[in-house]
Amino acid sequence: MSPSEIVKRAVAAGMGGIALTDHQSARNTPAIAECARRAGMACLFGLEVCTAEEVHTLALFDTTEQALAMTDWVYAAMPKRVNDPETFGDQPVVTWDDDIVELEWRILAMGCRKMIPEVSAKCHELGGIYIAAHIDRSAFSVYSQLGGIPEDGAFDAVEFSRTADETAWLPKAEGYAVTRSSDAHNLDDVARVWTEADIPAFTTAALKDAFRAHATRISPRLTAF
C-alpha cells in the first residue's frame, strides 16, 4: 500500500495516530514518517515479527532509527532465501511520494530464528513496546502456537483482531492490557477498528503507562466484511 494513501485514509477517518508494522521489516517507515509529518498525523514505527514459534508479534518504536535497528536484527536471524514475487508478491521499498527505490529480496513472509523472549528483550533494549498480535486467530498467534500467553512477562499488551469476540477473549487476556488494530492489508481496511486511550502524546512511553494502568479501550468488533 502507498504510505501517502495510508495516511490520507487515517486522516479522513479521524484517527489520532497510526502505526506501520510491515511483516519482518520497517524499511518503509521513513516513507510513512514523512507522509505523517506532512499531514500532521502522529505515527509510531515498527514491524510484525514472526518468531521461531511462528507467532506474530508487534514491535513498536518512537523513531524510524529504532525500528530499522530492530529490522537489521531480525534480518540477521532470517533464512537467506530470495523472494518469489509470483508466490509472495513484490516487496517494494518506497519514498514518501511513492517512488520505488528497491525491491526487498528476502522472503518477508517467513519467520526468524529468534524466540519470543529474545525478540522481547531486543525490542525493549531498543526502547520499544512488545505486543502479542491477534491472539484470537487460529494461526500465527500465541494461542494457536503455544496454547496461551507465555507467563514470562515478554509482552506489554495483547491485541485482538478486528473480528475477535471480546466477551470470549477478554477472560483469556486477563492480566494484560488489550488493544484492537485494523491489521490493514489493503486501504479499505485502514481504521476499520481501533484502540482508544487518554494519553498526553502518542509515544511508546505514554502507551506503556496506559497499558500498566489497563486504561485502553477497544472499539467494537467488526462483524461484516
Residue 120 placed within a domain: yes
- Residue 225 pLDDT exceeds 90: no
Q: HEC string of 30-94?
A: HHHHHHHHHHCCEEEEEEEEECCCCCEEEEEECCHHHHHHHHHHHHHCCCCCECCHHHHCCCEEE
Residue 225 placed within a domain: no
Q: What is the pTM of this model?
A: 0.96
Residue 223 placed within a domain: no
What residue numbers bound the domain in which 180 lies? Answer: 3-218
Confidence (pLDDT) at 197? 96
pLDDT in tens, 9-55: 999 999 999 999 999 999 999 999 999 999 999 999 999 999 999 99
Residue 222: pLDDT band (50, 70, 90) is confident
67 vs 27, 41, 70, 148, 192, CA distance in Å?
8, 18, 5, 27, 25
Residue that the C-alpha cell 486522516 belongs to: 11
Total domains in the chain come to: 1
CA 85/CA 103 separation, integer angstroms: 10
Q: How much of the chain exceeds pLDDT 70, in percent?
A: 99
pLDDT in tens, 89-132: 999 999 999 999 999 999 999 999 999 999 999 999 999 999 99
Residue 224 placed within a domain: no
Residue 62 placed within a domain: yes
CA 92/CA 81 separation, integer angstroms: 17
Residue 76 placed within a domain: yes
CATH of the domain at 8: 3.20.20
Residue 134 placed within a domain: yes
Are the C-beta atoms of residues 25 and 71 closer than 8 Å to each other? yes
CA 62/CA 88 separation, integer angstroms: 29
Residue 224: pLDDT band (50, 70, 90) is low
